[in-house]
Structure 1
């Protein structure tokens, strides 16, 4: 596998060593980093608020924009309250460190490293097996308090996880369910992400964390939950001691509701077009723009046609590459047709 180091930002077409390639990789699902309208919103935000804000959120003088952005985000993604941090990693670690305990901690397979509380979890098997075993363990144990941690989906080998099992947790239990929706927020459920799709039960407190740097195009992280949970998390040292993300980005985020919707509609149309033309051995989730193929030669074959796709070894550097086509709204129907012909 050859590594490529770009001198220019990602887009649908990139230039390497004086040769142009179509690019189908990355996580800029809605094309926000190169979107002219979003950049205009961001530049307007810079004019209003400057490049950054180096003060912590417990400073006695605050930009009101941060509270406004958190209220806006909570409403957009279906939560009662929200906390916005400077990165998805910080949002995840803040949450995990606050709620994790030595006992009753259950990690789902493939949980993102940002959610690890120390060393890599040893969970094996698939998500469905983990859900079944976790439910059995919780319901048959004398222990009351539990913490479940999982991604919302598998973006490498596309699979949308089903959390309906939490409805079967017995009364009297107290469960914290922490879900990383970094690849779903802005895409799933019309852009709302997974929070509103998780069953609501008296036994389970649902907390969703996410990077906003993927579909939403912001250098920030978000935590969605109840007012009680968010209020608790805002007392943590990680929140109080860290500088917030740039106010300009959050300003742009709040101006871009129509833009996000338009780009998502375009992305879903492109994804449906590609899905209708591929063979059954491709693995994908309808409505999610990532397509996995088990053929280890697809990267080299497409490279010969001046097309670059995502390809890297997983789960460790000695593993075989995982080859995936990742679509973005910055692609055109012509780009999709060219990709289909090359396949």
Structure 2
């Protein structure tokens, strides 16, 4: 069953004349409700308005984009950044840029549709049915056997919607004599976890939505400055509208708030983890705000007790429904205690 809301949920969701504790969504840091962030946005909005209706490569350019990209790169501890209109477009732009003649794409299990192209819709036989851990044991040898001149390997940074921790040590075991680019969609981890994925021998490109933990409509690509300079020349970048400039000004003026909210989120996660039973049916990973289960009836039981989570098949309509429970920086201890109390009765 789907619900509609007339306001942006924070800790509380009101829908169909019912009030629920809201434990869903991807606004992990709660930035859209942060008072200082909102005040900074109002000031930036007064300066920049609703949008910049121009190509980033046009004759006249707004300097806020380059300024914000420098700060985003520092925030992510990456060499350089390039912003775009959405996380989905960040992934599609990168994959189209890398789709050159004599190129073979490989896809890790659970890779987000943002990185899909025609190759991903037809997984290779050896990839079918593998877990992520099983896939990592095979990818090095498969790349070594691949005759293509260019290799692109795509993966998410963390399992979603069903949460799973991904180990990227496999990157360090890829053949050194191949032209390999690793593309990682970090949409569900950027702003929450600052683990940096690096490789001494191969190119790394990280794409991310800014509309999850960061609370801004837009996307970003992280890589070395030379690679991003080439992407800037690509027609699909030059012909696309950029993200809202007021949000980038807001980011620059709110960096301390992001760090403060992340600290609150980590404290909420630790508090919740200390309360739930060790043998809980919820699957989770360390220092991460999402908890998942395929156990039937959980979403409905929580809803009956005043707690709203997400439960829907993903990424396709035929996939098994996932009940996904999300803690945010906005939750109070009393909210977490209520959640624990109900979970113990499931």
What TM-score does the superposition give when structure 1 sets the normalisation length?
0.93
- Determine if the alignment matches structure 1 residue 311 to structure 2 residue 311: yes
Shift of 1:300: 1.1
> Is the Cα–Cα contact under 8 Å of residues 313 and 321 in structure 1 kept in the other structure?
yes
Comparing 81-90 with 272-281, greater Cα deviation is found at 272-281
User: d(CA) in 2 for partners of 1:227 and 1:318?
Assistant: 41
Partner of 2:141: 136
- The secondary structure found in structure 2 opposite 1:283 is coil
Alignment of 1:112-123 (within 5 A): 112-118=112-118, 120-122=121-123, 123=127
Residues 106 and 80 of structure 1, relative CA distance in 2, 3 Å threshold: same
Are the counterparts in 2 of residues 155 and 290 from structure 1 also a CA contact under 8 Å?
A: no
1:271-305 Cα distance to aligned partner (Å, 9 max, x none): 11212222323210111100112321111111111
Aligned-residue offset at 1:319: 4.2
Query: 1:240 — aligned with what?
Result: 238
Alignment-derived partner of residue 12 in structure 1 = 11
Segments of 4+ moved more than 6 angstroms: none
Which residue does the alignment assign to 1:84? Answer: 83
| Whole-angstrom CA distance in 2 between matches of 1:49 and 1:94 | 26
List runs of 5+ in structure 1 lacking aligned partners.
Answer: none
Contact 1:163–1:199 under 8 Å retained in 2: no
Residue 97 of structure 2 aligns to a residue in which SS? helix
Distance 1:282-1:65 versus aligned 2 partners, 3 A rule: same
Q: Say how many residue pairs are matched.
A: 335
1:142: Cα distance to partner?
4.8
Distance 1:233 1:92 in 2: 12
The structure-2 alpha-carbon separation of the partners of 1:234 and 1:315, relative to structure 1 and needing over 3 Å to count, comes to closer
RMSD over aligned CA atoms reads 1.5
What runs of 5+ residues in structure 2 fail to find an aligned partner?
A: none
For the 8 Å contact 1:65–1:251, the answer to whether it is kept is yes
CA deviations over 1:208-235 (Å, ceiling 9, x no partner): 0000000001111000001111011000
Partner Cα separation in structure 2 for residue 34 and residue 7 of structure 1: 15
Cα pair distance change 1:315/1:225, threshold 3 Å: closer
Partner Cα distance (2:262, 2:84) in 1: 24
Residue in structure 2 matched with residue 276 of structure 1 by the alignment: 274
Q: Which residue of 2 aligns with 1:69?
A: 68
Q: What displacement does 1:315 show?
A: 4.7
Q: Report the CA distance shift for 1:319/1:38 in structure 2 as closer, same or farther (over 3 A).
A: same
Find the counterpart in structure 2 of residue 252 from structure 1.
250
Given candidates 150, 172, 187, the residue that maps to 2:192 is 187
Give 2:93's aligned residue: 94
Q: Secondary structure, in 3 states, of the residue corresponding to 1:37?
A: helix
- Could you say which residue in structure 2 is the equivalent of 1:223? 221
**Contact 1:270–1:329 under 8 Å retained in 2:** yes
